[in-house]
């Protein structure tokens, strides 16, 4: 008689659709495929989505087709207006399964996230706003910081997917994830400016920027921005990871939200102007650490 414990039955593959296969969507969708999820993908430019066929993704011609069998629908789109267009004007809404969860991992305004959640709830579809931080490096490694707004029960449903991508934290009701992302982007954008200005001051005064960075590492001024973006500044490597144009969008979203709730954000206002001037001066498609270039130009150091 065989008394050994029978093996656990296999866990059904998670059915996930990913809409938007860009710089973040590609590595995130690839991780889901490699983890054994059943993944359908859609992108406006089909060729970007087709890169995922080799890891088992099903490429679709329309977002409605991508979401038809999905339990979880992840959107990774450029801004809130595009998210709204894809969800509500391209037939996606009709294709969503009742009870499924739309997980918007785009960076949009909190009010837009709340509006999308209400409109999806009206047709029996759940919603979480879950923007991320960590860039393409974090997306590839599965170490993203994931800030989630919405109902706790839906957060727990989606947790297995989130944990394939990074470290999720439920921060509050619908829109709270986007608020947390705005806070993240305010800190990132402002700190990039502080690091750039400080390093340029040192170079202008005759100090070696690389040695200055080494000297203050481990002190109170140390940060991931100093280590990662500061090194890019030292090397003058402004290859796009997170674009100046996207940083400007985030600062403007933060200011729009601040205005809506009656909050004065003078520091963010100043940096919104600096990033806007960087865009005006042709830096839009460079990495956001290229604010260094704008500040260097102001000081005749470009």
Q: What is the pLDDT of residues 49-98, one digit of tens each?
A: 999 999 999 999 999 999 999 999 999 999 999 999 999 999 999 999 99
Backbone angles phi, psi at 276, to 5 degrees: -65, -40
Whole-angstrom Cα distance, residue 83 to residue 76? 8
244-261 vs 266-280: helix crossing angle, rounded to 10: 150
Whole-angstrom Cα distance, residue 302 to residue 292? 9
Backbone angles phi, psi at 57, to 5 degrees: -75, 150
Among residues 90, 99, 103, 98, the alpha carbon closest in space to that of 132 is found at: 103
pLDDT class of 242 with cuts at 50, 70, 90:
confident
pLDDT at 88: 97
pLDDT at 6: 47
Does position 24 have pLDDT exceeding 50, yes or no?
yes
Whole-angstrom Cα distance, residue 45 to residue 231? 33
Question: How long is the chain?
Answer: 302
CA distances from 50 to 6, 25, 117, 302 (A): 40, 13, 30, 40
- Mean pLDDT lowest among 132-136, 158-162, 244-248: 132-136
Whole-angstrom Cα distance, residue 65 to residue 212? 54
Whole-angstrom Cα distance, residue 188 to residue 186? 6
Catalytic residue among 48, 181, 211, 240: 181
- 204 carries an active-site annotation: no
Mean pLDDT (the chain) is 94
pLDDT at 135: 86
**In Å, how far from its chain's centre is CA 17?**
17
């Amino acid at each position: 008689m065989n008394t050994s414990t029978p093996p656990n039955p296999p866990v059904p593959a998670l059915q996930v659709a990913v809409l938007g296969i860009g710089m973040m969507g590609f590595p995130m969708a690839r991780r889901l495929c490699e983890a054994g999820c059943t993944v359908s993908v859609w992108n406006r430019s089909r060729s970007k989505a087709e890169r995922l066929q080799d890891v088992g993704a099903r490429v679709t011609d329309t977002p409605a087709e991508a979401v038809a069998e999905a339990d979880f629908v992840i959107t990774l789109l450029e801004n809130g207006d595009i998210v709204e267009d894809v969800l509500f004007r391209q037939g996606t809404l009709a294709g969503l399964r009742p009870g499924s969860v739309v997980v918007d991992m785009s960076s949009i305004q909190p009010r837009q996230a709340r509006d999308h959640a209400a409109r999806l709830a009206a047709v029996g579809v759940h919603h979480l706003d879950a923007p991320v931080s960590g860039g393409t490096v974090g997306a590839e490694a599965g170490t993203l910081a994931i800030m989630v707004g919405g109902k706790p029960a839906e957060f727990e449903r989606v947790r297995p997917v989130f944990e394939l991508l990074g470290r999720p934290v439920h921060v509050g009701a619908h829109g709270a994830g986007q608020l947390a992302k705005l806070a993240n982007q305010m800190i990132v954008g402002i700190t990039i400016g502080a690091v750039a200005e400080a390093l340029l001051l040192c170079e202008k005064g005759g100090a070696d920027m690389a040695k200055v960075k080494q000297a203050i590492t481990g002190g109170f001024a140390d940060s991931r921005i100093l280590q990662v973006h500061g090194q890019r500044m030292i090397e003058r490597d402004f290859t796009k990871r997170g674009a100046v144009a996207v940083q400007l969008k985030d600062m403007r979203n933060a200011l729009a939200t601040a205005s809506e709730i009656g909050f004065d954000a003078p520091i963010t206002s100043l940096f919104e102007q600096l990033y806007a001037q960087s865009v005006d001066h042709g830096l839009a498609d460079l990495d956001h650490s290229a604010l260094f270039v704008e500040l260097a130009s102001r000081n005749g150091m470009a």
